[in-house]
Chain A
Amino acid sequence: MESPGPARWRSGGGRLRERTEDVLNIIVLVKHVIDVELNLRVRDGKLVEDGMNFVLSRWDENALEAALVLREAGEGEVTAMTVGPERAGETLRKSLAMGADRAVHICDPATEGCDSLGFARILSKAVARQPYDLILAGRQSQDTDMGGTGPMLAAMLDLPQVANVVEIRSNDGGKLTVHRNGDHGREIVDLTLPALLTANDSLNEPRLASLRGIMSAKKKPMEILTLADLDIDPAEVGQSGARVGVAELSPPGARAAGQKFEGDPEKITRQVMDLLVNEAKIFG
């Protein structure tokens, strides 16, 4: 497998570029996803498209907010990048309106049916076209709830990776200190850039796009690329290259409401206790 290596040493045309300490170029991976706050209906193993809405995935907003805060503290550019159909352009426009400087849209029908590995493969080629110090992704996307793409991409690029970041502490001469929620506590990690982070929603409160932001977004550069532009064989990605796929969807196991008790606290609590003991038998 090809590994493009840390791209911050390259710029267009492969020229070497010396890193300047306080310049931080950041790529944020944003995904246009089904709005899961709405009611979702499943019919014949598929989602009913009627009434479905698409949004910028929530955790990607956290990733973008973190990028904007870092950029505001120094210099550099924030690039929002997505792989998706034409409608995904909306998510890029929103990212630009929130404050990203430029956007890259990999838009090619052959990306249809991509699994996370396919998205990561495409993104690995796309990020290598520009200098970067940091890549930010969401902890998971709202539609897959998987969180595969970020760590996969980091491994392909041989970048250090920290997933589930809840705090970014300092940016000091090409180093970051980040906190991640791990299994045994809050892990405090010193990182040498370039690196990849995935954002937890506790990382920050994403800003709303201002009217001025929305207006200026229209003038910001948006690059649209095909797989051919990235030298990717369409057979390697999309449906034909996917290692895993969703065979079908079903509604979640019906978890119906049980019994609800209202009235005198003493009385209803005893009633529930009685059920816990005699019906649910939770005390053995």
Chain B
Amino acid sequence: MSKILVVAEFKNGEIRKPTLELLTKARQAGIPTDAALIGSGVRGAADQLAGHGAATVYLADDGALERYSSAAYLPLVTQAVEKSGATQVWFSMSETSNSLAPALAGRLDAGYVGGAAGMEIDGDDLTIHRPAMATKVMQKMTFLKDGLRIVSIRSGTFDLEPAEPVTAQTVDLELGEPDARVVVTDVVQEVQDDVDLGEASVIVSVGRGVKGPEGVEEVRPLAKLLGAAFGASRAVVDSGWMPHNTQVGQTGRVVSPDVYFSIGISGAIQHMAGMSGSKLIVAVNKDPDAPIFSIADYGIVGDLFKVVPILTEEIKKVKS
């Protein structure tokens, strides 16, 4: 019998939206589903998972799990898979799952497909659609053998249906001895904005065209006004004008908001690989031949230092 284990992600006291999207989809597929919840201070969030359809929540709640490390998390997820008897393990695609999901596959000798942007589910037959080769092709991938299937799925691939929390049935996972070979000594919180790139429905991103940190500050009010997450190109991050965690692209965050504002970004393939899944793209660039215009729905050819203040004013008018 098919069974799904959804590995939950948790942030600021709540289950992250991409996890709830996966649970919604699992429920629609009519396949029995459990969840694994690992972290520190996470126990209270189990009911949220149950409300979204997790029959059993496999739980590891310990101060030592506050920060992700492959050494600490891998044995726990492995235990959860074994205890639940899952035939499929679903992760939401993130820097955590990029490290954890394939490690789980290596540990359990299972097939793994990461970064799904679409998935058809027929029992344990999964058909996965995912971009590859810097999004220049779409791959249709399938599992070829019996045995456990492990997938990671991009946020926004499935719709979220809201659900009220219900009392969860939980099973505690056994914590082993800490693995002294890997010690996460600190996590430097770099992102000062409250809207998460991975969950935002509107994103405003800046490129080298903003010229410096002052330029970044000229665009930030636009993001604030829209309630948008504030992202950046790699050029901006490398220059130290914005924190690393704001990088959008092939090796940064892969995002698919409803609206993506690209401000002073040229549109290199590595950047577009991270945002071309956006539903609507608005680009501002002074170079009419900038590659970003090849995918923008609305392109404004002009100086961002003139355009952005006008745009901000106009949006203020509409909003009031």
Contacts and interface: CB of A to CB of B under 8 A. Distances in A.
Interface of A: 1, 34, 36-37, 40, 42, 47, 59, 115-117, 120, 139-140, 142-156, 160-164, 166, 177, 180-192, 195, 200-202, 242-253, 255, 257-262, 265-266, 268-270, 272-273, 275-277, 280, 282-283
Contact of A155 (B11, B74, B147, B310): B74
Contacts of A116: 102, 105, 112
Contacts of B314: 269-270, 273
Interface size class, chain B: 35 or more
Given A148-B102, A186-B187, A255-B276, A242 B94 contact: no
5 contacts: A244-B141, A250-B140, A255-B276, A258-B298, A283-B318
A152 B183 CA distance: 20
B309 to A, nearest CB: 9
A143 to B, nearest CB: 6
A190 to B, nearest CB: 5
Contacts of B307: 265, 269
Given A40-B133, A151-B98, 18 more contacts: A145-B131, A146-B115, A154-B70, A161-B71, A163-B70, A163-B98, A177-B185, A187-B68, A187-B186, A248-B140, A253-B138, A255-B295, A257-B295, A259-B299, A261-B299, A265-B303, A268-B300, A269-B300
B107 interface: yes
Nearest to B78: A155
Contacts of A260: 288, 293, 296, 299, 301
Interface of B: 9, 11, 67-71, 74, 94-96, 98-107, 109-115, 127, 131-145, 147, 179-191, 198, 202, 234, 237-238, 244-245, 250-251, 258-259, 269, 273, 276, 280-282, 288, 293-303, 306-307, 310-311, 314-315, 318-319
A246 B140 contact: yes
B306 A182 contact: no
Contacts of B96: 182-183
Contacts of B183: 189-190
A146 to B, nearest CB: 5
Contact of A251 (B137, B187, B297, B319): B137
A145 B186 contact: no
Contact of B114 (A146, A160, A276): A146
A258 B269 contact: no
Contact of B109 (A1, A59, A154, A258): A1
B190 A186 contact: yes
Contacts of A147: 98, 102, 114
B141 A161 contact: no
Contacts of B191: 185
A243 B134 contact: no
Contacts of B107: 155-156
A22 B261 CA distance: 50
Given A161-B70, A283-B318, A272 B238 contact: no
